[in-house]
A and B are shown apart, each in its own frame.
Chain A
């Protein structure tokens, strides 16, 4: 009886203690809130703030957020190394600021995790097939660098289905991942064109692929680059890559590029100009093979390689070295080389350059002058 009372008493004391702590911790978020309002940066704590370049230099490695599950863009090979188009841009940034393309720590992120990881300072740069949209630019605390890949949503059908254009899909069922912009775009398309499409939504790509293989849906819609990745890995017993056709029609604009945190304009500029440098190099005809000792009479080319009338040329972007462009190109090559190595016509993905060609070749890649 005595002990029971003691238990009860201590329970009450505990309750009051908890109550007090509950009340006091209630003030916590308020303080945080004022701090957020005062600062311009969403990730204000510790190393997330201000000088990302300094953080990266001190650490000696670049932490790069990638997808890790899209062949051709970022995909773990047998040895666990992440390779691909996006991964090479991580290496390019590391080469530019650290002089070492291998000083990259890859962080594989899901679609939901990516912006939180960026805001919280867990990663330095996000290169994870992320579409540049106004809301993301405005509300996710993100700054988008120059687009590395102009993608668009497409539809994939089986080659023997007799479907060759959108109009042939009248009344069809289309498989799509639920809760994505892809699903919304599909709805818009169906209603605008009067196609009367039925979306069959799934949570994950595995169930979706099984439903598509068994013909529950006649088409599969996603970003064209992702469809190409699926196509390249399509099982042989289902007809292999040749058993599938990606329709010509593009139903949305999906510009994919690197993303940095809002509030660190120097770091954003650095990532921006690394992308621009790969494009500029292709325009100048500089590639991984000839960049060392590349000589040209053109002052434009000389400036690009860090020389101006015999002196070092530094536009003041914040790169640690004036020859950073050489470091980048010798590490990963120019844009065309990166593209052709991972997603180009000679790879399993087999994507033509299309929009991702130089402006001189009818594409959208256009580098601002380096002067």
Chain B
């Protein structure tokens, strides 16, 4: 079988044998990579030691000494917990941002193909105006030029029954459990959601088997609500309403959406939505025209054509590039530092500024973003595989 590649001739000497060279080349490359990593690691630790700087992660258990706003971090909170708060904040802005950017992006993308002149031109204007300006500029614009001047200062807060709004934060009332039991409620919520998903899955299976309409969304939602309601009554957790109130300069209670958070969120959503809109438009246009015409011939309404014929096919084209936008949004959230939102990057930089070792801290930040990105990739890849055409290989 070796002879088949060399066409029956004698085997070349070792140093000219492609198969040997290939193996040697790969081994050399592997050694080189390992040696390079080992060298830069050694270099780093040597230089840190020669400057009497710590090389380990022991500092993580020491107190951070600073406060992170809108969190329970105090000066005695260990650094690892402070960084975790930053991770939570990054998650909060990325997760909400991804959902909102998708919804707005899809609407604008469909809008660009609308028959209505105003909607079509308006969507085009949005896309062209927004995507051609860097996201950092948008974030600073929404924070410094929109939220801060438009919202009143804290002394003149707009106060309603369920909210207090000023340019520090918009605080809204939220449910609270005065006598404990929040954990029980979260668990109950999880069980209810799982039950809803299970019922929706069962309805889908039934639909496949019998051909009867599944109505899985309604069934799933109702199940979740019923399960939660029953569990709530059984558990007997005391739930009250936590209303925000202003006392002097401070607003207490409720759930605070700080202006830096809103600035980052709106900036990321508006910017990413413009990119998603273009992906949606391109994907819809990529669906063969015959599909649209066939749907029309079946007398489907405009909505039905979109919902049942065009979008499911466009979705297959849409998912990989949109996943890329999700990754971009998550990574761009590190620009939060520009407007003082305490995301993981801002927290890590503060920790460095207080004399903690930079290499370790930056490594932590890199690991966090890597973990976020790989998680998003994993789920979008999973989804992508699910919706691909089945039966071809």
Return chain A residues, CB-CB under 8 Å to B259: 216
Which residues of chain B from 262 to 298 have a CB within 8 Å of any chain A CB? none
Shortest Cβ distance from B146 into chain A, in angstroms? 11
User: Is A76's CB within 8 Å of the partner chain B?
Assistant: no
Choose from A25, A207, A218 the contact partner of B340 (Cβ within 8 Å). A207
User: Is B32's CB within 8 Å of the partner chain A?
Assistant: yes
A18 touches B32 (CB 8 A): yes
With A and B bound together, what is the CA distance between A12 and B20 in angstroms?
13
With A and B bound together, what is the CA distance between A196 and B74 in angstroms?
11
A22 touches B36 (CB 8 A): yes
Return chain A residues, CB-CB under 8 Å to B167: 214-216
Q: A9-B21, A215-B167 are in contact. Are A190 and B67 (CB under 8 A)?
A: yes
User: Is A311's CB within 8 Å of the partner chain B?
Assistant: no
B42 touches A187 (CB 8 A): no
Which residues of chain A from 53 to 76 have a CB within 8 Å of any chain B CB? none
Closest to B259 in A: A216
Closest to A158 in B: B153
Closest to A25 in B: B39
A12 touches B28 (CB 8 A): yes
Which stretch (A173-181, A283-291, A314-322, A338-346) binds chain B?
A173-181
A191 touches B75 (CB 8 A): yes
B21 touches A210 (CB 8 A): no
A200 touches B340 (CB 8 A): yes
Shortest Cβ distance from A320 into chain B, in angstroms? 35
User: Is A360's CB within 8 Å of the partner chain B?
Assistant: no
User: Is B227's CB within 8 Å of the partner chain A?
Assistant: no
User: Is A16's CB within 8 Å of the partner chain B?
Assistant: yes
A188 touches B50 (CB 8 A): no
Shortest Cβ distance from A182 into chain B, in angstroms? 10
Q: A135-B355, A178-B353 are in contact. Are A184 and B66 (CB under 8 A)?
A: yes
Closest to B352 in A: A179
Return chain B residues, CB-CB under 8 Å to A202: 339-340
Choose from A23, A32, A173, A178 the contact partner of B350 (Cβ within 8 Å). A178
Closest to B75 in A: A187
Q: A187-B66, A211-B340 are in contact. Are A178 and B249 (CB under 8 A)?
A: no
With A and B bound together, what is the CA distance between A371 and B112 in angstroms?
87
A169 touches B69 (CB 8 A): no
User: Is A139's CB within 8 Å of the partner chain B?
Assistant: yes
A19 touches B31 (CB 8 A): yes
Choose from A22, A171, A183, A216 the contact partner of B39 (Cβ within 8 Å). A22
Q: A8-B25, A184-B354, A187-B66 are in contact. Are A33 and B154 (CB under 8 A)?
A: no
Return chain B residues, CB-CB under 8 Å to A215: 148, 153-154, 167
Return chain B residues, CB-CB under 8 Å to A216: 148, 153, 167-168, 259
Choose from A16, A23, A171 the contact partner of B248 (Cβ within 8 Å). A171
Return chain B residues, CB-CB under 8 Å to A15: 28-29, 31-32
User: Is A110's CB within 8 Å of the partner chain B?
Assistant: no
Return chain B residues, CB-CB under 8 Å to A187: 65-67, 75
Could you give, for residues 39-74 of chain B, a 1 whenever the CB lies within 8 Å of some chain A CB and a 0 otherwise? 100110011011010000000000001110110001
With A and B bound together, what is the CA distance between A282 and B165 in angstroms?
56
Return chain A residues, CB-CB under 8 Å to B149: 214
Which residues of chain B from 115 to 151 have a CB within 8 Å of any chain A CB? 140, 144, 148-149
Choose from B15, B43, B249, B339 the contact partner of A218 (Cβ within 8 Å). B249
With A and B bound together, what is the CA distance between A275 and B329 in angstroms?
54
Could you give, for residues 65-99 of chain B, a 1 whenever the CB lies within 8 Å of some chain A CB and a 0 otherwise? 11101100011000000000000000000000000
User: Is B374's CB within 8 Å of the partner chain A?
Assistant: no
Could you give, for residues 24-35 of chain A, a 1 whenever the CB lies within 8 Å of some chain B CB and a 0 otherwise? 011001101100
CB < 8 Å A-B pair total: 135
Could you give, for residues 183-204 of chain A, a 1 whenever the CB lies within 8 Å of some chain B CB and a 0 otherwise? 1100110110000101111110
Chain B residues touching A, majority SS: helix
- Central interface residue in B24, B66, B351, by most chain A CB within 10 Å: B66
User: Is A40's CB within 8 Å of the partner chain B?
Assistant: no
Closest to B17 in A: A5
Q: A191-B75, A218-B154 are in contact. Are A5 and B21 (CB under 8 A)?
A: yes
B36 touches A30 (CB 8 A): no
Shortest Cβ distance from A62 into chain B, in angstroms? 27
B74 touches A26 (CB 8 A): no
Could you give, for residues 126-146 of chain A, a 1 whenever the CB lies within 8 Å of some chain B CB and a 0 otherwise? 000000000100010000000
Return chain B residues, CB-CB under 8 Å to A166: none
Closest to A13 in B: B28
Return chain B residues, CB-CB under 8 Å to A29: 42-43, 46-47, 50
Choose from A173, A179, A196, A218 the contact partner of B353 (Cβ within 8 Å). A179
Which residues of chain B from 226 to 269 have a CB within 8 Å of any chain A CB? 247-250, 259-260
Return chain A residues, CB-CB under 8 Å to B66: 183-184, 187, 199
With A and B bound together, what is the CA distance between A215 and B350 in angstroms?
24
User: Is B346's CB within 8 Å of the partner chain A?
Assistant: yes
Which residues of chain B from 22 to 38 have a CB within 8 Å of any chain A CB? 24-25, 28-29, 31-32, 35-36
With A and B bound together, what is the CA distance between A26 and B36 in angstroms?
10
A171 touches B346 (CB 8 A): no
Choose from B35, B52, B250 the contact partner of A172 (Cβ within 8 Å). B250
A171 touches B249 (CB 8 A): yes
Q: A179-B354, A184-B354, A211-B148 are in contact. Are A33 and B46 (CB under 8 A)?
A: yes
With A and B bound together, what is the CA distance between A92 and B69 in angstroms?
45
User: Is A36's CB within 8 Å of the partner chain B?
Assistant: yes
A139 touches B52 (CB 8 A): yes
Shortest Cβ distance from A332 into chain B, in angstroms? 34
Could you give, for residues 246-270 of chain A, a 1 whenever the CB lies within 8 Å of some chain B CB and a 0 otherwise? 0000000000000000000000000
User: Is B316's CB within 8 Å of the partner chain A?
Assistant: no
With A and B bound together, what is the CA distance between A188 and B144 in angstroms?
29
Return chain A residues, CB-CB under 8 Å to B69: 173, 198-200
Shortest Cβ distance from A220 into chain B, in angstroms? 13
A171 touches B46 (CB 8 A): no
User: Would you list 27 pairs from A and B whose C-beta atoms are within 8 A, ordered by A residue?
Assistant: A5-B21, A9-B21, A12-B28, A16-B28, A19-B32, A25-B39, A26-B43, A29-B50, A33-B49, A33-B50, A139-B52, A170-B249, A171-B250, A172-B249, A172-B250, A178-B353, A179-B352, A179-B354, A180-B353, A183-B66, A187-B66, A188-B75, A191-B74, A207-B340, A210-B148, A214-B144, A215-B167
Taking Cβ atoms with an 8 Å cutoff, the residues of A that contact B are: 5, 8-9, 11-12, 15-16, 18-19, 22-23, 25-26, 29-30, 32-33, 36, 135, 139, 169-173, 178-180, 183-184, 187-188, 190-191, 196, 198-203, 207, 210-211, 214-216, 218
* Given A196-B250, A198-B250, 7 extra CB contacts under 8 A: A190-B67, A191-B74, A198-B67, A198-B70, A199-B69, A202-B339, A214-B149
